[in-house]
Structure 1
């Protein structure tokens, strides 16, 4: 039993343990602890940056039109929708609501394959823009409009699945002409467009105005005529508006709101206009002579007229009569003196109509 300790060995171990707890004996110095090196300084952690929002980018649908240009197009065509709705209501003699639903970027192939077949696919030339624009009118909306133009109602009926006839195309031309007229007004602060319909197709998949992967801007409108609703889409290829991207900004075309005119602006405007040259013409007199007398005139001949020498002469500024004057001389030169201003006469149309009605009555 070599692993068993005797009583003496157990007491010796206990005594050594008590001595270690009590410390070194008197007169004996304890050994100094070895110095411990301080820990190396740690680098200060950089401040936490806010996590940036990561937006997925689809290479099949690149966004080539800037956000500012997209906002400008949206604002322009919101006003266009209101004006086009008012004009269409007057044409159809029924309330038509036109609402801008979206302004998106997509590829030309995505736009074409999203349309119905057959449809009303108008190819529009918009000079000086390059290429062509597209106006698509959904058949579910088009046939009720044609029915309304022919004197029918606005009851929703299933649209016919067929191309338009020649007579129907002539009726639709009235709608597209109104659309182009209002579009020209909406764009006049950006560009003076010359819009015309080049041709009308029924199958959109057979028309290739740009490559399939080319980016286009699709502006969609929802038209409501009674119980009938349908879509009208305007497709603008990116290459058509690429060169005028700087003009499609909110600051370059938005109308300036009316503000009180300050004295400084009036003075600035007066300084600029004050140096502008204008044409002044004084009509001395009118008379009638024969061609033979006109050909026989020589320097120094006198032409008599019925105008009194004391009668005032009319001074025209840029072709408009403005002042009554008297002729004379100043420092040895011929001159005129302003006598009075000519008040412009404005005739009230309402008064003329009222007078005419009263006389007929």
Structure 2
């Protein structure tokens, strides 16, 4: 029972605690009296601190394609849109405007569920890229184009809510072929693509080329044909361009402003192409013989021509005539001697050649 405190010991502990509390309060008051007073701010609006911009990050949609690659894709398809619009204008004989609206990253399921049903869902094989690409053309745009190809006027027709017929698919094939041709040209500085349409579906939800959560790059175009507007979407799965990401990151293929050539740049270019191998061809003579004589030719036969032996021969470099030459022998081998350079005559645009002016 020695561990239990008596009443006197409890009261002694309480009194000591009160004394310690009073002494700490007095020390705080003394320290406050020696501290200089804090100046109150003047009346007026309190300046707001600039808030940091917070961007939400969705772990379900990781941005797997880098910003530099996205800029490269945007630059490529901006030029593609202009060329495709010009080609489509010539095909429809009408003014067509194609404008790149967005280049975004999203999941495949988000892309599919954002489309109409039925639609024109083209599955494209793009060798040597892995997998397939998707070209979706909105029906509100597609049926007026088909009507225009069949000889219709500029009056917009309501879009039908039905899959395309076989004849309509043939007509749409002309549009997709033009799309693939211009896309091949837009990508030729990055990769030589072999593009072809594998098949065309009407229900996009029945096609699954990649898992639903796989990241895709969605390139959207807005087409204006007369008074009709519609969307056209190109879907590129990330796994298709994952291996060529370094080519998309390089800016060497992007068109830049022209600068005057310097001595250093000329010398550098000369050093790079100085060792290039070129093809040289000399045309000895031209003649005509019958097929029977050609079949009967044997070693040692002589073919006569009307070519004068004293006239110079033309030396072609990669198919372009560059020099006048003569034939002979050098150290026991057949050889040619360069006599002079062939002068190239250029006529400026708008000028009339001398022969026509006289």
| Residue 95 of structure 2: aligned partner | 95
Distance 1:304 1:173 in 2: 55
Normalising by the residue count of structure 1, what TM-score does the alignment of the two structures yield?
0.73
CA contact (8 A) 1:154 1:228 kept: no
| Residue 157 of structure 1: aligned partner | 157
Distance 1:130 1:235 in 2: 13
**In the TM superposition, what are the counterparts of 1:306-325 in structure 2 within 5 Å?**
307-318=307-318, 320-325=320-325
Distance 2:199 2:327 in 1: 65
Distance 2:307 2:225 in 1: 67
Distance 1:151 1:292 in 2: 55
In structure 1, runs of 5+ residues without a counterpart are 1-49, 352-361
1:115-173 deviation digits (Å, cap 9, x = unpaired): 11111111111111111111111111111111111111232333111111101111111
Normalising by the residue count of structure 2, what TM-score does the alignment of the two structures yield?
0.73
C-alpha distance 86-278 of structure 1, shift in aligned 2 (>3 A): closer
**In the TM superposition, what are the counterparts of 1:147-226 in structure 2 within 5 Å?**
147-226=147-226
C-alpha distance 217-273 of structure 1, shift in aligned 2 (>3 A): closer
Report deviation, 1:77: 1.1
Report deviation, 1:76: 1.2
Distance 1:81 1:304 in 2: 58
| Residue 10 of structure 1: aligned partner | none
Distance 2:285 2:80 in 1: 53
Report deviation, 1:225: 1.3
Distance 2:142 2:296 in 1: 70
| Residue 133 of structure 1: aligned partner | 133
Report deviation, 1:283: 5.3
Distance 1:344 1:99 in 2: 43
| Residue 32 of structure 1: aligned partner | none
| Residue 142 of structure 1: aligned partner | 142
Q: Is 2:333 the partner of 1:297?
A: no
Aligned residue for 2:235, secondary structure, equals strand
Distance 2:74 2:196 in 1: 22
1:256-283 deviation digits (Å, cap 9, x = unpaired): 4322111222233334444444454555
| Residue 14 of structure 1: aligned partner | none
Distance 1:140 1:239 in 2: 31
Distance 1:211 1:232 in 2: 22
C-alpha distance 165-259 of structure 1, shift in aligned 2 (>3 A): same
Distance 2:325 2:124 in 1: 56
Report deviation, 1:176: 0.8
C-alpha distance 284-124 of structure 1, shift in aligned 2 (>3 A): closer
Report deviation, 1:321: 4.0
Report deviation, 1:61: 1.6
Q: Is 2:246 the partner of 1:263?
A: no
